């Protein structure tokens, strides 16, 4: 984990300190969020999140360049699932999500062709979020990830923006705050890792304005099991784990590009 933080800090320091012409981006938008867990009865959360987007990219016609992408998100989504009791009792409610994603990018830009840049991109990032299922039940997540993909952009005042690739979590950490619901010891979990995909398509319609639609995702395998003792009459002592889970976001954002 320390290596990941050092790598992110190093990339951001180099990118911000490089004298090459840069593009900064600031935008806002909405994501439609879905979270599913492979359980019986199944767990599903879905609904909109408000998102603030930030970005930075060196402006060069070719060669190596550095970039940064970040976002902050917040919202209440619908919950359909079940209690942790045995047998589980189906319930519905609302889950609140609050989080941030921070990412450092290293790109190799091919020479311009027909008015477009083509970048091969590798990125390292970290995503933090809090999942509040009730006044006492909440989860804190930390996920460090790598991304690899290709992106197309234009130096012109108008043109398309495209990108796609794969994503892999290299570090996962979840704190379910077991003690808050009467389960001890208050241990953490490590959800399993799996590949996922991302893509974007957008259009720059004026020199400084662009609109981008995107899809992003995480996929987690079943976590390790924690043996817990219950002091809650509604819950049993035994093994508790994070089931196989999938996160998808479909978003649209309007950005102002400082050029």
Q: Which is higher by pLDDT, 194 or 6? A: 194
**Residue 27 in this model has a pLDDT that exceeds 80:** yes
pLDDT of residue 17: 43
**Residue 190 in this model has a pLDDT that exceeds 60:** yes
pLDDT of residue 84: 83
The pTM (predicted TM-score) of the whole model is 0.88
Domain regions of the chain by residue span: 2-20+28-245
For range 179-187, the mean pLDDT = 95
pLDDT of residue 205: 95
> For the segment 199-237, what is each residue's pLDDT rounded down to a tens digit?
999 999 999 999 999 999 999 999 999 999 999 999 999
**Residue 1 in this model has a pLDDT that exceeds 80:** no
DSSP 41-74: S-EEEEEEEEEEEEEEEE--SSEEEEEEEEEEEE
pLDDT of residue 21: 56
Q: Which residue(s) pair with 174 in the sheet?
A: 141, 189
For range 72-91, the mean pLDDT = 89
pLDDT of residue 16: 43
> For the segment 86-118, what is each residue's pLDDT rounded down to a tens digit?
778 889 999 999 999 999 999 999 988 888 999
Minimal CA–CA distance to 184: which of 176, 174, 173, 192? 176
CATH architecture assignment, domain 2-20+28-245? Beta Barrel (2.40)
* b/e sequence 50-70, b meaning 16+ C-beta within 10 Å: ebebebbbbebeeeebbbbbb
> For the segment 124-182, what is each residue's pLDDT rounded down to a tens digit?
999 999 999 988 899 999 999 999 999 999 888 999 999 999 999 999 999 999 999 99
């Amino acid at each position: 984990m320390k290596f990941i933080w050092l790598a992110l800090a190093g990339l951001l320091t180099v990118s911000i300190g490089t004298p090459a012409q840069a593009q900064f981006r600031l935008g806002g938008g909405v994501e439609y969020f879905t979270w599913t867990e492979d359980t019986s009865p199944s767990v599903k959360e879905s609904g909109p999140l408000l998102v603030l987007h930030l970005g930075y990219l060196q402006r060069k016609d070719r060669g190596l360049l550095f970039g940064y992408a970040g976002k902050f998100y917040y919202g209440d989504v619908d919950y359909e699932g079940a209690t942790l009791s045995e047998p589980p009792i189906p319930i519905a409610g609302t889950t609140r999500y609050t989080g941030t994603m921070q990412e450092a990018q290293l790109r190799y830009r091919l020479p311009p062709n027909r008015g477009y840049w083509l970048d091969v991109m590798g990125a390292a990032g970290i995503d933090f979020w809090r999942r509040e299922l009730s006044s006492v039940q909440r989860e804190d997540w930390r996920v460090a990830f790598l991304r690899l993909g290709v992106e197309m952009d234009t130096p012109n005042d108008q043109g398309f923006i495209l990108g796609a690739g794969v994503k892999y979590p290299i570090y996962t950490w979840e704190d379910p705050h077991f003690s808050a619901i009467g389960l001890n010891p208050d241990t953490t979990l490590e959800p399993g890792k799996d590949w996922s995909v991302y893509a974007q398509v957008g259009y720059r319609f004026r020199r400084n304005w662009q609109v981008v639609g995107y899809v992003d995702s995480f996929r987690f395998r079943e976590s390790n099991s924690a043996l817990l003792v219950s002091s809650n009459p509604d819950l049993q002592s035994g093994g508790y784990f994070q089931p196989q889970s999938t996160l998808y976001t479909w978003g649209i954002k309007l950005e102002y590009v400082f050029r």
